[in-house]
Amino acid sequence: MRIDVSIADRVGIAQEILATLARRSLNVSAVEVEPPHVYIEAPTLDGAGLDQLRSELLQLAGVQSVDVLGMLPGARRRLYLDALLASQEDPVLAVDADGAVVVANAAAVAASRLPEAQLIGASLLALVGDAELVEALIGRGDRQPAREVQIGGESFLCEGVALHEPGGGVAGAVLTLHAPHRIGERLSALQNYNAGGFESILGDSAPMRQLKQRAARMAQVDAPLLIRGETGTGKELVAHACHAGSRRRAQPFFTLNCAALPENLAESELFGYAPGAFTGALRGGKPGLLELADGGTVFLDEVGELSPYLQAKLLRFLNDGSFRRVGGDRELKADVRVVSATHRALEQMVTVGAFRQDLLFRLDVLQLQVPPLRERTHDIVPLAEFFLVRACAQTGRQRARLSQAARAALLANPWVGNVRQLQNVIFRAATMSDSAVIDVDDLELAGAAAGPDQLSAEHVGTLEEAVAACEKSLLQQLYPQFPSTRKLAERLGASHSAIAQRLRKYGIGPV
């Protein structure tokens, strides 16, 4: 039985309480003194004995009450601390003032690759091999920023906090170790918290249904995937969906835009760098996306922009999963699925020597072609309406709708910038117009269009002329790809006679 003796704090009261238990020949297995309480665990004490003990203890000067206790506070704290440490997936170590390990959770035992009995009491210096870190924590009592250490042959990002006695002396330190893939999981969760699967890819036209069906099958195949398509078609959205539909869905997903960074930065972002690799580098080094995404997916956007050097380094990783950090001499391995995307004709780049053919073969195991917006005209108006609702919400204005003329103009526009251009046009219209109805003039399509032969706003006098100009431009662009009235009518979802009439009207093709 455990009891809580409430006391008035005075010298010798705890000793008198224990002497009372000793006179009754009660075995005491644990005592905790935390004035104004004395907590006692007496295994042989029963209910009848408690009543007699209580009457005797209450006769002592300063004893106020004697109550039954479920668990000693110290035991409860130890239980919660053990549970807390056991629940931590990151290794946690506590060392004393001599730098010897006194506490280690299960993750730390696994990371050290030592039996727990051997790890407890081991030297921190022998464990991490970083004399500067040990001296800073134990010798000077400094709080250490994150730095890389090696434990059990693996790299960890280490955070160290010195523990101080009430008088100011160093009593030890606590170290928390973060494996690169664990850091990657957290970063990916923050960056991709709202990234959806195939349901987030908008569009119900035949080309988009075919794309989703094909992508869903390829998502389940754990092999490199190359996504082709024009700029603005949503290649990254498809990459996210393929990751979400794969067996790696619970693991990290990271993106590297190969066109946005110079070669040296792109290399360090992808492969990481070793301590002291270059001026300005973090002291402890930095893991790259491949290490952070271990077990998950890395998306290389605009992979055709990689330099020849990075192409060779990426090829080696694709061959056996191994790589080296910038400035490093240690071979690392990562299990990462590489999904890449490009708007460029890589085969032509291979012909002129701008892209490695062997790398193209490794990247192009599976392939998806994202159709441009002009080939999925049935999706234009639904996409525009979706973007309009979102734009109204973002700008805090009342809901608006598209006029029939605006819908016709959207359908007639060539959309060289694809879905991204459509989204920008709708957002600009929702921002600049206060009307409840978005009309053709609000869309500013003449300024948004990217064709040298398109008419600008000052050359168009009426709505009919503007729509006709857009219609003519669209037919001129599509006719070379669909050089018959039947194919063109099928492509645009219109009747054969209507398309033939418009081709004759604008003098397009041998009709």
- Pair 174, 192 in one domain: no
- Pair 431, 360 in one domain: no
258-269 pLDDT, tens digit each: 988 888 889 999
Top pLDDT among 194 and 55 is at 55
468-501 pLDDT, tens digit each: 777 777 777 777 777 788 778 777 777 777 788 8
Residue 450 clears pLDDT 50, i.e. is over it: no
Which helix (H) or strand (E) covers residue 382, if one does? Answer: helix 380-395
In this prediction, residue 267 carries a pLDDT of: 92
The pLDDT confidence band at residue 208, using thresholds 50, 70 and 90, is very high
The pLDDT confidence band at residue 323, using thresholds 50, 70 and 90, is very high
Prediction pTM value: 0.64
- Pair 110, 164 in one domain: yes
Half-sphere exposure for 157 (CA within 13 Å, toward CB): 18
Q: Are 428 and 390 in contact (CB under 8 A)?
A: no
Range of the domain at 238: 185-369
Q: Is the dihedral of CA 276, 280, 284, 286 positive or negative?
A: negative
The pLDDT confidence band at residue 511, using thresholds 50, 70 and 90, is very low
The pLDDT confidence band at residue 100, using thresholds 50, 70 and 90, is very high
In this prediction, residue 496 carries a pLDDT of: 76
- Pair 109, 64 in one domain: no
- Pair 68, 98 in one domain: no
The letter for the amino acid at 183 is: I
In this prediction, residue 462 carries a pLDDT of: 60
- Pair 142, 192 in one domain: no
156-191 pLDDT, tens digit each: 888 888 888 887 788 889 999 888 877 777 676 666
> With pLDDT > 70 as the criterion, what percentage of the chain qualifies?
92
255 found inside a domain:
yes
Mean pLDDT of 40-68: 91
Top pLDDT among 240 and 507 is at 240
The SS3 call for residue 428 is helix
| Count of domains forming the chain | 4
The pLDDT confidence band at residue 145, using thresholds 50, 70 and 90, is confident
502 found inside a domain:
no
In this prediction, residue 448 carries a pLDDT of: 47
- The 3-class secondary structure across 443-506, one letter per residue, is HCHHHHCCCCCCCCHHHCCCHHHHHHHHHHHHHHHHCCCCCCHHHHHHHHCCCHHHHHHHHHHH
261 found inside a domain:
yes
> With pLDDT > 90 as the criterion, what percentage of the chain qualifies?
47
316 found inside a domain:
yes
The CATH number for 150's domain is: 3.30.450.20
The pLDDT confidence band at residue 453, using thresholds 50, 70 and 90, is very low
- Pair 263, 298 in one domain: yes
Mean pLDDT of the chain: 86
The pLDDT confidence band at residue 137, using thresholds 50, 70 and 90, is confident
- Pair 64, 133 in one domain: no
Span of 84-93, 366-375, 479-488 with lowest mean pLDDT: 479-488
Residue 457 clears pLDDT 70, i.e. is over it: no
505 found inside a domain:
no
